[in-house]
Structure 1
């Protein structure tokens, strides 16, 4: 019997359930998709160290999914609370007819079970399709051929999705039973007569708060743009806090400021039903300013992550070529004797299938500000190390490149740090002469030669001067390096050899040998590690970004639909004074559009600043082009925004239409 009543209620109120269904289906779809990554056979079968990162990504997704399930569970409870509030009168009639609270709870349990079951099935079907797109995207990220792609369904992801959402729906059932037990018949029957009182503070408070919010945001923006992502800077954290405070003050004061401005423009205020629209927006923003602030910040994170994530990964991995000129490098911090002694003590042997050269890097004897005789503030903080031209030519020969001859008064300047490359190139454009220890030298290259001198996980070549050998006679060596190129054979075995050296050095295995610090790495391991790391971060970012986007849009939608139910008496009054259907629908459209747009607009402003800061930070290492990411972000955002906006507008109209 309860199932029949529940099914009848769902059929009768299916329009009210639209947002609830949409949110549940999208939540299930996203949850399944990101937890089914490990099901793609091509990724499982990868015969490289990339394979271990698939396992790590899967573990990471499992951990993040717990956090995501808390967000989605809270959202489902929030949406369910909206439905209960809307049906108070219906539940009151059940009680009036003699139905006990326990029986009403059973009906709600049956409804939750039916809605949950339908949403799970629909979400999983949609998720299976979405997961194929995600699998193809993952294969692309790891440079696996699409010929290896196969349609797959993850049984473990289905089980996990059913378990997590089953727990969520169980919590909803418990919540419903608790809420019903607290209601009284009189409160339920009179629910639609209760209306929210609009309490407005003095315009001075709103205007002062708005000016304070604007000042806070401008100050926060300016500071963040100046210091960048420098967590060690004492102004970094206060700037973030100031931006959050500014956001909250913005939404707190916005409704009052809009009302004040429009109220002072009688041509706008008294035109059509604008007075009604402004009062409605004022009421809801004034009531929900905290939730709108949170939504704005969530949308900001979503836009920032999605707009920069893909391009950041792509551009960063393109930069890997610059930092890995050799198949492997072994670095010993000390001179030749230290290097030979250290390598002998760890029993290091160059393999038969390996070609190698050695070079020394000498300590800086000149600062860049003296090298170029410049006032550039950036160059003031860096010095230049030195390398012999004979060593540099050995490296060029190993790479199969043409050797370079230097006259006694000539040097080469190398740099792989974008922050320095630009000012160095500007200096070289103005003059090809540099000053080294009181003597002028001509720079043979008119631009800084970019790239590392060894294979290293980061850009360790800030500025290196290649000079004739005799200049460095008696200078102190601070780093001695062995650069290696493989033949096609035993590549994996060679990689393991160098990985083992670094592992032993970090674990302290060489400590008893009384040798300087040793570091070794291979090109393949750097590529694998960086791709695994950037892909993991990208996946988490996209996962949370889409969840935040859905959550934000769903909360905005539910708040608007809740407002529709609370404002029925006002719409009845509009109809009594002669407002026709077209005029009422226009007010609904404007309210919904403005309410949806306010947090999005401020989030976009935040995002412009955020993208600029990220771009500035990353440009120190590689150039970033966010056009592709921005296009994808705009597409995802537009689809979700338009879907929720249209559904909310349609639902709002139906609520008003059926009530007046």
Structure 2
């Protein structure tokens, strides 16, 4: 009998709460897909560095999946609470007919098992097929070739998915049993007739709370966007504006139920139009009881927008930096005495390894009065405009390179060098958006002082050029001066860029071994850091992959959870108000007006958290832009198109399905 009842209840729940079951299936599918990434590498031609990057991504996905499973567990428990609420009358009848709580718990256990098997089976099946498409995305992300396409099944991801969701369903069952045992038959039978209690009745109190919420949010925005404290210097103090924004969000939704209805009542024309009186009281009642979940939904939507747009921008920026980086086989960064040329000639026979190579130094003015920061150089107005760039906000010192070194570098990259007359300087950088500001300063004949001598800009325009093989573009500006001015300057870092000759793979291994031997020898008093182009590409694409996967994984889950919470609440309210809708029909309200009211109610409920989340995102995306600008240059706004499409498909899809479901339920 229990199995029969459980099967019937599950079939009925599937009809009423299709969104809930689809979300379970989708959650299982996403969970399996992202945990199977490590298995996809067998289809790709990878070097040892790329294999290592894949392992790092796989390890990170395992850690993130623990967090995701907790979030999904919360969603499932939350959704079940609404399923239980929808069925309170049914359970009350069971208890009235003589069933015990233990027997109802048995029914719930069987239902949980059936739901778990159903969602796990279908979700895993979809996940296995989706992971095949993910492998193509991964290959493009890492810029690697697929040796041959083959059907991949990750046994590790399969077992992990079953284990995680089995634990989640066990917790759901325990939660359901506790919920049932706490309620009495009379409460179960009459629950649908009870009106919600208003949390805040006093209009004055509601307005005060609303004003406090606006102040909290405004102060949070001010702290984050303040030019002095700055979003550049993200540290532990960032917790202060985040906390204020979260508190402000909760207080705002908490206060709405106290004055939203009265605010609309001021305009009788709006309040008394069609079924607006009924509609607004429904919305007011719902906000009153669900302000916590509305606040969470708003914050998750905000995080989803920032993660998707910011994550894709960071990934694109890192990949673009590789395309723009210098083309050489290996780069060596040198710190120590003697100078890099002398050290290399003494310890390494470069002609054995190199087909071509170049060495150079970067310098700072020794005299602090002559040291110049990028913000000081481009001026206050331009500095304020470009304050989203870390180097400008912190007024990083501008480095100096001598003319002969620069021309050797240009020759190494098969580009033309430049000439400088006495008393002149030139400039270059690798952050495209800062170049116009530098050019303006040069057009104004801005003087600089190097080694005690005043210099004016040459006629050579500022150049966009990348010297260093690092995944982030951080060279806002470097000055080029004649060699005779370098004598009194302080060398900072020495560089060697080299192309191997002959058997490059063999020469690379020998060179790295020799460098490591020198670096381990403390008697030399030097530090050498080597990175090959393969290492650079693998590490950069690895970072891009991690960011992209995290953005997709967490952003999608947060978006789905927020949409599901709003959807379940609307469907639950529609189910609870069936008698009210029947009464409206008896009073002469036609189906068209009822459907229009349901559409308005669903739209308003979905739009409230989305609207505030979009306002939060304006500030959040500025923070994301700063982080992206620390790595290079990429417009975060460009990625909003992709994010918007994702929102239209998922959030808009859940909204429309909720409206259709509520309309069918009422009909």
The TM-score with structure 2 as length reference comes to 0.88
* Distance in 1 of aligned mates of 2:397 and 2:63: 44
Q: Which runs of 5+ in 2 are unaligned?
A: 384-391
* Distance in 2 of aligned mates of 1:323 and 1:269: 62
Note the C-alpha offset of 1:292: 1.1
Note the C-alpha offset of 1:338: 6.9
* Distance in 2 of aligned mates of 1:467 and 1:609: 41
Q: Is the deviation greater in 221-230 or in 17-26?
A: 221-230
**Is the contact between residue 304 and residue 558 of structure 2 (CA under 8 Å) also seen in structure 1?**
yes
Determine whether 1:86 maps to 2:86. yes
Q: Is the deviation greater in 379-388 or in 271-280?
A: 379-388
Query: What is the Cα-based RMSD across aligned positions, in Å?
Result: 3.1
**Is the contact between residue 2 and residue 106 of structure 2 (CA under 8 Å) also seen in structure 1?**
yes
2:386 aligned residue: none
Q: How does 1:457-476 map to 2 (within 5 A)?
A: 458-459=472-473, 461-476=475-490
**Is the contact between residue 499 and residue 520 of structure 1 (CA under 8 Å) also seen in structure 2?**
no
- Distance of aligned partners of 1:46 and 1:604 in 2 relative to their CA distance in 1, 3 Å threshold: same
The aligned length equals 651
**Is the contact between residue 321 and residue 473 of structure 2 (CA under 8 Å) also seen in structure 1?**
no
* Distance in 1 of aligned mates of 2:113 and 2:43: 36
Q: How does 1:270-419 map to 2 (within 5 A)?
A: 270-322=272-324, 324=326, 326-334=328-336, 336-337=338-339, 340-341=342-343, 351-364=352-365, 366-368=370-372, 378=383, 381-417=395-431
Note the C-alpha offset of 1:235: 6.1
2:556 aligned residue: 546
Note the C-alpha offset of 1:486: 2.4
Cα shift readout 1:529-568 (whole Å, capped 9, x = no counterpart): 1211221122122111111111111111122223234434
* Distance in 1 of aligned mates of 2:483 and 2:199: 82
Note the C-alpha offset of 1:602: 1.1
2:389 aligned residue: none
Note the C-alpha offset of 1:610: 1.7
1:536 aligned residue: 546
Determine whether 1:447 maps to 2:451. no
Note the C-alpha offset of 1:295: 1.1
Cα shift readout 1:77-106 (whole Å, capped 9, x = no counterpart): 111121112112212222333333333222
Note the C-alpha offset of 1:198: 3.6
* Distance in 1 of aligned mates of 2:397 and 2:310: 32
**Is the contact between residue 428 and residue 463 of structure 2 (CA under 8 Å) also seen in structure 1?**
yes
**Is the contact between residue 223 and residue 235 of structure 1 (CA under 8 Å) also seen in structure 2?**
no
Question: 1:294 is paired with a residue of what secondary structure?
Answer: helix
Note the C-alpha offset of 1:144: 1.9
Determine whether 1:477 maps to 2:491. yes
Q: How does 1:97-116 map to 2 (within 5 A)?
A: 97-116=97-116
2:14 aligned residue: 14
Q: Which runs of 5+ in 1 are unaligned?
A: none
Note the C-alpha offset of 1:351: 4.2
The TM-score with structure 1 as length reference comes to 0.89
**Is the contact between residue 431 and residue 464 of structure 2 (CA under 8 Å) also seen in structure 1?**
no
* Distance in 1 of aligned mates of 2:326 and 2:572: 58
Question: 1:49 is paired with a residue of what secondary structure?
Answer: helix
Q: Is the deviation greater in 596-605 or in 468-477?
A: 468-477
* Distance in 2 of aligned mates of 1:504 and 1:92: 80
1:264 aligned residue: 266
Question: 1:359 is paired with a residue of what secondary structure?
Answer: strand
1:63 aligned residue: 63
**Is the contact between residue 418 and residue 619 of structure 1 (CA under 8 Å) also seen in structure 2?**
no
Question: 1:332 is paired with a residue of what secondary structure?
Answer: strand
* Distance in 2 of aligned mates of 1:141 and 1:469: 43
* Distance in 2 of aligned mates of 1:67 and 1:93: 39
Note the C-alpha offset of 1:375: 5.3
* Distance in 1 of aligned mates of 2:588 and 2:121: 46
Note the C-alpha offset of 1:635: 2.1
1:145 aligned residue: 145
2:652 is matched with which residue: 642, 648, 652? 642
1:427 aligned residue: 441
* Distance in 1 of aligned mates of 2:547 and 2:568: 31
Q: Is the deviation greater in 247-256 or in 323-332?
A: 323-332
* Distance in 2 of aligned mates of 1:21 and 1:313: 33
- Distance of aligned partners of 1:590 and 1:421 in 2 relative to their CA distance in 1, 3 Å threshold: same
Determine whether 1:555 maps to 2:565. yes
Q: Is the deviation greater in 119-128 or in 38-47?
A: 38-47
- Distance of aligned partners of 1:18 and 1:459 in 2 relative to their CA distance in 1, 3 Å threshold: closer
* Distance in 2 of aligned mates of 1:639 and 1:232: 33
Question: 2:365 is paired with a residue of what secondary structure?
Answer: strand
- Distance of aligned partners of 1:488 and 1:50 in 2 relative to their CA distance in 1, 3 Å threshold: farther
* Distance in 2 of aligned mates of 1:384 and 1:8: 74
**Is the contact between residue 5 and residue 107 of structure 1 (CA under 8 Å) also seen in structure 2?**
yes
**Is the contact between residue 194 and residue 566 of structure 1 (CA under 8 Å) also seen in structure 2?**
no
* Distance in 1 of aligned mates of 2:224 and 2:506: 44
- Distance of aligned partners of 1:385 and 1:597 in 2 relative to their CA distance in 1, 3 Å threshold: closer
2:388 aligned residue: none
**Is the contact between residue 298 and residue 549 of structure 1 (CA under 8 Å) also seen in structure 2?**
yes
1:518 aligned residue: 528
Question: 1:478 is paired with a residue of what secondary structure?
Answer: strand
* Distance in 2 of aligned mates of 1:559 and 1:342: 70
Question: 2:196 is paired with a residue of what secondary structure?
Answer: coil
Note the C-alpha offset of 1:620: 5.3
Cα shift readout 1:95-138 (whole Å, capped 9, x = no counterpart): 33333333322222222222222222221222223222322111
Cα shift readout 1:220-242 (whole Å, capped 9, x = no counterpart): 32432334533457864322222
* Distance in 1 of aligned mates of 2:165 and 2:506: 43
Note the C-alpha offset of 1:588: 2.0
**Is the contact between residue 88 and residue 188 of structure 2 (CA under 8 Å) also seen in structure 1?**
yes
Q: Is the deviation greater in 255-264 or in 17-26?
A: 255-264
**Is the contact between residue 416 and residue 450 of structure 1 (CA under 8 Å) also seen in structure 2?**
yes
* Distance in 2 of aligned mates of 1:492 and 1:319: 27
**Is the contact between residue 360 and residue 494 of structure 2 (CA under 8 Å) also seen in structure 1?**
yes
Note the C-alpha offset of 1:328: 2.3
Question: 1:521 is paired with a residue of what secondary structure?
Answer: strand
